[in-house]
Each structure stands twice: as structure tokens, then as C-alpha cells.
Amino acid sequence: MPFPLPLDPAFRKEVIKSWIDDVYDRLELGDRKSAELSWKIANSLFVSLPAGQGDFSLENDLIESRVKLEQH
């Protein structure tokens, strides 16, 4: 069973950003399948943020990483 993340939205946003960065890293290595998994984790964490705790910059990063993923 995975370790539960703390509920602190700022911490969760840092974790989401790390997963988005991982998407790019894995694409550079040519590992599209793992990049897809990293994106799914980032997206899942993003949509689980508490109401009112969204972040437009982070959302844009998530969308841009999806576009990059679709281009590979």
C-alpha cells in the first residue's frame, strides 16, 4: 500500500511538480510508457487538491507536459 501524502496543499503541489519534471526526464530517455505513468500520477494528484487550492501555473505545466507526451 502506498504511503499517504500529507494533506498540506503546498507540499502536494511540490510533489505534482516533481512528477511533471519526471515526465520530461523519462521522455528524454525515450521511455514513453513510464512518462505516461508519471503524467497520470501528477494529474491524479492535481485533481485531488482541495477546493480553492488550484494553481494555474501548475495546471499549465501539466497541460504542456501532456502535449509534449502526445508529440512523442
Structure confidence by residue, pLDDT tens digits, 13-71? 999 999 999 999 999 999 999 999 999 999 999 999 988 888 999 999 999 999 999 99
Q: Which residue has the higher pLDDT, 2 or 8?
A: 8
Nearest Cα residue to 5 out of 53, 48, 57: 48
Range of the domain at 15: 9-71
CA–CA distance, 52 with 41 (Å, rounded to integer): 20
Is 19 a member of any domain?
Answer: yes
| Residue where the block lists cell 511538480 | 17
* Predicted local confidence at residue 72, as pLDDT: 85
Q: What pLDDT was estimated at residue 63?
A: 97
Q: Look at residue 2 and tell me if it is in a domain.
A: no
Would 60 be classed as within a structural domain? Answer: yes
- No. of helices (H) and no. of strands (E), the chain: 3, 0
pLDDT of residue 64: 97
pLDDT of residue 14: 94
Q: What is the pLDDT of residue 57?
A: 95
Number of domains in the chain: 1
